């Protein structure tokens, strides 16, 4: 995604920065096969006793015994495959059974309204899970403009993420080919549940 930078200083709470960091991490780890640098970074993560913390701890343990070639092979089986992978990580597919349908058109309208655009070197439809995680992270901290209000985040999340992302992450957690990516699915599912509940309880 590309957009003009916004130089306006904004107050971002520590909680929101941590939320954005987790969205960005999920976007990064799902966008392409993890290289040695990302695997090493993941192996160094630590978690607490919360559902998210336990998922992070498990992912870190798996990362410590993972090699880039094996992770790339797993990624290809999950998301690419011969013809198609085990999973199709797109909102349109999860919500309609087909690619490039109304959910993608609705997302593109909202992206335009927020000044977001697909990067020129990216050819995947914008409604893939990695891009949506990146968009949420960017909106929270204002990476492509002013930080989104809680109400704006809630609207975007409820429209484009909540209807399908937890289902996708659950599928990823239980996928036949998931090893490195199984705890990624567990982490994403736990995070989507917490975000959904937090937005449900928010006053905005």
Q: Global pTM?
A: 0.92
CB distance 13 to 127 below 8 Å: no
30: alpha, beta or left? (left if phi > 0; alpha if psi -120 to 50): alpha
CA distance 112 to 135: 12
pLDDT digits (tens, 9 = 90+) for 148-177: 999 999 999 999 999 999 999 999 999 999
Residues of 108-129 as b/e, b for ≥16 C-beta within 10 angstroms? beebeebebeeeeeeeebbbbb
pLDDT digits (tens, 9 = 90+) for 90-129: 999 999 999 999 999 999 999 998 888 777 777 789 999 9
pLDDT digits (tens, 9 = 90+) for 57-77: 999 999 999 999 999 999 999
CA distance 22 to 5: 21
């Amino acid at each position: 995604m590309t957009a003009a930078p916004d130089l306006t200083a904004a107050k971002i709470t520590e909680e929101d920065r941590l939320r954005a960091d987790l969205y960005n991490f999920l976007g990064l780890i799902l966008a392409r096969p993890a290289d040695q640098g990302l695997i090493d970074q993941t192996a160094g993560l630590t978690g607490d006793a919360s559902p998210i913390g336990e998922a992070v701890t498990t992912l870190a343990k798996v990362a410590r015994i993972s090699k880039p070639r094996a992770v790339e092979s797993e990624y290809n089986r999950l998301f690419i495959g011969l013809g198609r992978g085990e999973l199709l990580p797109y909102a349109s597919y999860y919500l309609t059974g087909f690619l490039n349908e109304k959910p993608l058109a609705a997302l593109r309208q909202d992206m335009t309204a927020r000044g977001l655009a697909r990067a020129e070197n990216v050819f995947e439809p914008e409604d893939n899970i990695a891009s949506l995680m990146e968009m949420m992270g960017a909106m929270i901290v204002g990476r492509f403009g002013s930080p989104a209000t809680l109400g704006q985040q809630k609207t975007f999340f409820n429209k484009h993420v909540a209807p399908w992302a937890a289902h996708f992450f659950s599928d990823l957690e239980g996928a036949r080919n998931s090893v490195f990516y199984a705890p990624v699915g567990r982490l994403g599912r736990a995070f989507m549940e917490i975000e959904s509940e937090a937005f449900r309880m928010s006053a905005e």
